[in-house]
A and B are shown apart, each in its own frame.
Chain A
Amino acid sequence: MFCEKAIEIIRELHRMGDGQLPAFNEDGIRQVLEEMKALYEQNQSDVNEAKSEGKSELIPTIKFRHCCLLRNQRCIAAYLYDRLLRIRTLRWEYGSVLPTNIRFHMCAEELEWFNQYKKSLATFMRSLGGEEGLDITQDMKPPKSLYIEVRCLKDHGEFEIDDGTIILLKKNSQV
């Protein structure tokens, strides 16, 4: 039946949990595009036949093929767009440099989209306020406690923190 491959690639994407990006299914997309090409060519020849020989009984088949074409287009668009949304989330989660294993799952055009998105976002953030802008990918959670506990791994000697106090960092001490 037509459009089966299109549904299959969507199902595959849907199966992967929130936010995970599976490998780009280049093969699947190619198969759907080939099916579309075949359907279109069959329609072209039927349309010509219907026109020149007045075979109006071909028209339902033509309409049916057209519906399949539209469905395939919609499925492909949905698949690609959903991946873009996941990739967009990656910028907010991982920052502007993606881990290599994730990059492997992206096709070249997706990487290009990601780069453009990064640039747009950076331009926007820089424009905020007057001078250097504001990095809104930071401060994702409301500030809770001002102090954190730190265990020293190595002797570091004296360390000056934000408010000017000086702390002595000795190996294995907890501050």
Chain B
Amino acid sequence: ISDAMSDDHDASDMSGGDDGQEDVMTPSELIRKLEEAWLNEKFSPELLENKSERVECVMEQLTHMEANLQRVRKGDMKASVHRMEIDRIRYVLSSYLRSRLQKIEKFFPHVLEKEKSRAEGDASFLSPEEFAFAKEYLANTETYLKAVALKHMPPNLQTVDMLKAVPEPCLDSFVFLRVRARQENILVEPETDDQREYVVDLDEGSQHLMRYRTIAPLVSSGAVQLI
């Protein structure tokens, strides 16, 4: 990656977080992981696990890069390249966060329900800030519907069940994926009276078009990459 990142040596060792979930990464690995998370989030029909540690690291990185850019000799060719790089990374980060926000808004009752019923140790799908945003969105929308219409309706019709009213993400939509780690015996279609069970092996480096539901666990484990 560019000089702008390695100019400041303090920035070149990034630690992913207190609980050591992510090992110390070089800046280029960090950006690569950001791009992977961005693509996965973009092409997945449902909201994926939140990577807020990564987001924070990338933002720190951007601040360092901006600072370095100030120090580069004015008019130097490198400055334009670095500027472009900073803009590119900021675009990917913004796009990633926008993808997530759009899904949170689109599926807000289900997202909140999932978060409420999650077990203690399980990874959270929403960052604390996203969770706050989702709750505010729900409250805002409910308040609005009540004020404009529901309170003028007959007594037994003054509520709307959001979980029923708002559609769930379609997990059966098809997605393109590339395999990173070989997988064996992936169940594509279960056995029924009419057909035998349909099972495939996924070779490393191969690309497929499959139902999201089938490979969802592989996305979160990192075994496949959505493209």
Question: How far is the CB of A99 from the nearest CB of chain B, in Å?
Answer: 21
Task: Report B59-83 CB contacts with A as 1/0, cut-off 8 Å.
Answer: 1100100000000001100011001
Task: Report A109-144 CB contacts with B as 1/0, cut-off 8 Å.
Answer: 110110011001101100111110010101111110
Chain A contact residues, majority secondary structure = helix
Q: How large is the interface on B (under 10, 10 to 19, 20 to 34, 35 or more residues)?
A: 35 or more
Q: Which residues of B contact A128 (CB under 8 A)?
A: 55, 59, 97, 129
User: In the complex, are the beta carbons of A124 and B59 less than 8 A apart?
Assistant: no
Q: How large is the interface on A (under 10, 10 to 19, 20 to 34, 35 or more residues)?
A: 35 or more
- Given A120-B133, A163-B83, decide whether A109 and B153 contact each other with a Cβ distance below 8 A: no
Interface-side segment among A10-18, A29-37, A148-156: A29-37
User: In the complex, are the beta carbons of B94 and A117 less than 8 A apart?
Assistant: no
User: In the complex, are the beta carbons of B148 and A130 less than 8 A apart?
Assistant: no
User: In the complex, are the beta carbons of A134 and B93 less than 8 A apart?
Assistant: yes
Question: How far is the CB of B184 from the nearest CB of chain A, in Å?
Answer: 37
A1 within 8 A of B: no
User: In the complex, are the beta carbons of B137 and A120 less than 8 A apart?
Assistant: yes
Which chain A residues (66-112) contact chain B, with CB distance < 8 Å? 69-70, 73, 76-77, 80-81, 84, 88, 107, 109-110, 112
User: In the complex, are the beta carbons of B84 and A146 less than 8 A apart?
Assistant: yes
- Given A88-B105, A124-B130, A146-B84, decide whether A77 and B165 contact each other with a Cβ distance below 8 A: yes
Task: Report B140-163 CB contacts with A as 1/0, cut-off 8 Å.
Answer: 110111011100111001001000
User: In the complex, are the beta carbons of B137 and A117 less than 8 A apart?
Assistant: yes
A136 and B96 CA atoms in complex are apart in Å by 9
A76 and B160 CA atoms in complex are apart in Å by 11
Q: Which residues of A contact B132 (CB under 8 A)?
A: 123-124
Question: How far is the CB of A152 from the nearest CB of chain B, in Å?
Answer: 21
B49 within 8 A of A: no
Tell me the nearest residue of chain A to B88, going by C-beta. A143
Task: Report A137-175 CB contacts with B as 1/0, cut-off 8 Å.
Answer: 011111100100000000000000011110000000000
Q: Which residues of A contact B95 (CB under 8 A)?
A: 139
Q: Which residues of B contact A107 (CB under 8 A)?
A: 148
User: In the complex, are the beta carbons of A165 and B75 less than 8 A apart?
Assistant: yes
User: In the complex, are the beta carbons of A80 and B154 less than 8 A apart?
Assistant: no
Tell me the nearest residue of chain A to B61, going by C-beta. A129
- Given A128-B129, A129-B59, decide whether A29 and B149 contact each other with a Cβ distance below 8 A: yes
Q: Which residues of A contact B84 (CB under 8 A)?
A: 143, 146
- Given A113-B141, A129-B56, A146-B83, decide whether A136 and B98 contact each other with a Cβ distance below 8 A: yes
- Given A124-B101, A129-B56, A134-B93, decide whether A112 and B83 contact each other with a Cβ distance below 8 A: no
Q: Which residues of B contact A131 (CB under 8 A)?
A: 63
A positions within 8 Å CB-CB of B: 29, 33, 36-37, 40, 69-70, 73, 76-77, 80-81, 84, 88, 107, 109-110, 112-113, 116-117, 120-121, 123-124, 127-131, 134, 136, 138-143, 146, 162-165
Q: List 15 A-B contacts (CB under 8 A).
A: A29-B148, A33-B152, A37-B154, A73-B153, A80-B144, A88-B105, A110-B148, A129-B55, A130-B59, A138-B94, A139-B87, A142-B91, A143-B84, A143-B87, A163-B79
Given contacts A116-B136, A134-B59, A162-B83, list 7 more A-B pairs with CB under 8 A.
A33-B152, A36-B154, A40-B154, A81-B141, A84-B141, A129-B55, A143-B91
